[in-house]
Amino acid sequence: MAMQRRTRGDDEDMLDSLTIGRRIRALRLERAMTVEDLGRAIDRAASQVSVIENGKRELRLAELQRLAKALGTTLDALLEPAPLSRRDELEIALERAQRGPLYRSLGLEALPIRRSLSDEAIETILRLHDELGRLHEQRAATPEQARRANTELRAQQRRRDNYYEELETSAAELLGAIGHRGGPLSQRETGELAAHLGFSLHYVGDLPGSTRSITDRRHGRIYLPLHQRGTDLRSALLQALAAHVLGQPEPQDYGDLLRQRVETNYLAGALMVPQSSAVPYLTEAKAARELSVEDLRDHFAVSYETAAHRFTNLATRHLGIPVHFTKVHSSGVISKAYENDDVQFPTDALGSVEGQRVCRWWSARQVFEVEDRLTPYHQLTDKPVGTYWCTSAIVSASNGEFSLSVGTRFADSRWFRGRDTRRRMTSTCPDPACCREPRSEAAEHWRGQAFPSARLNSSLLAAMPDGSTTGIDTVAVYEFLDRHAAALDES
């Protein structure tokens, strides 16, 4: 049975082994013993004594007792947490650093700890190691950095009414290059756009799981997943083409990643729902007081989410209607959000919306209570900042169900179909009494008796894989490209 404590895992085992090893060395030197002398006393080779003194072996009780006897001390004295010399503390810290994952990730050879290595040199190495650790921890703070980046990006979108004129222009030029005459962009035209940009399309069954598509610029190929063949592939393909057109480099941080994703999705959406066709269509619908996200979806043959995003792009700049948009998980947690109509989203102390739980009386939550999921859901909600009208729909994804909602102030609801809805709720959030605190009777009845098990979202704890801001497995991507390039060369 080993004597080293195991209460905190391998790091503490390492610390005990190193500390005890240094204490054994100190006692040996005090008694003017060589490693050979101590080795003979415990019936071990001198090399094994060095291993023990360097903390590279965990000692068992019997070995510790023999060492204590050979050094003329007690087992308790050998194990007691007496302070070590400054030099021993530095050597232990350097040894621990070299055994850690950060030092190993640098690909450096182990640095022999000799007396010729000065205290100052060890301190410098340790400070550099600590600074590298601090920077890695800062970069690995994925949730915190993502929240800050989301908050900044949402503020930028609000300032420009979520309208990117330069991307609308790029979309119009691309559509003009293939002779698109207005209306929905067909799958045939999508393929023609790929060919115009110099790419052929290939559907494969071995696309790496961390990717939606792979663009091989060297061979002018775009690889798409085989299992989606026969369905609407426009979205994934247009996102790949948009990223190529925008010339986006590898993102350096989460701000870059989110900005690039927004721009790529915007350009793809502007190709599927061209401004030149969408604005007249929406203007006519507004004049008839028949604005509808569902109609926009059906007219351009896109997903509800694409139609909702596209509506927020065009509504304020071309229709004069401020709006808000949310994507909310069935648990009530906000996944995406945008507003320029002064609706008050729940936020954390830093102003971040994503990850917060929306009021249960909002349309985004109430839509989950309705069995009929084909009929458009409309709702009026009286909020502390005024009354808002909202339309919501539910979509399914691999990670659950989400509600997609587009809303506006009550005064602007007159332009929308469903404005006469009789569904009306009252929300007093952020007042905790609205929906964040249980009824006093329920709280009293269940206090100390209810112990739910949380479904923890792993993304709250996990950083992006080391070396990649996007989380894409680069090794798998390069292996994929090598494999297909080899097949291409053979043919």
Does some domain include residue 17? yes
pLDDT surpasses 70 at 206: yes
pLDDT (0 to 100) of residue 79 = 77
Please give the tally of structural domains in the chain.
1
Closest residue by Cα to residue 311 from 324, 330, 301: 324
Angstrom distance (rounded) from CA 445 to CA 453: 19
Evaluate if residue 74 carries a pLDDT over 80.
yes
**How high is the pLDDT of residue 275?**
96
* 93 falls within a domain: yes
Is the omega angle on the peptide bond into residue 430 within 30 degrees of 0, that is, cis?
A: yes
- 304 close to 393: Cβ distance less than 8 angstroms: yes
What pLDDT was estimated at residue 52?
A: 87
174 belongs to a structural domain: no
Residue 241 lies in a domain: no
- Give the pair of three-digit tokens for residue 360: 């249960």
Q: Record the pTM.
A: 0.68
Structural domain of 28 = 10-139
Please give the average per-residue pLDDT across 90-107, as a whole number. 80
The CATH number assigned to the domain holding 34 equals 1.10.260.40
Residue 135 lies in a domain: yes
What is the share, in percent, of the chain residues with pLDDT greater than 90?
42
Least confident of 186-190, 254-258, 391-395, 460-464: 460-464
pLDDT digits (tens, 9 = 90+) for 102-145: 887 777 888 888 888 898 998 999 899 888 877 766 555 556 66
Whether residue 163 is contained in a domain is answered as no
- Residue 65, pLDDT > 70, answer yes
- Largest separation between any pair of C-alpha atoms in the chain: 100
In a domain, 355, yes or no: no
Q: Is residue 130 part of a domain?
A: yes
What's the pLDDT score for residue 142? 54
CB proximity list for 29: less than 8 A, separation 6 or greater:
none
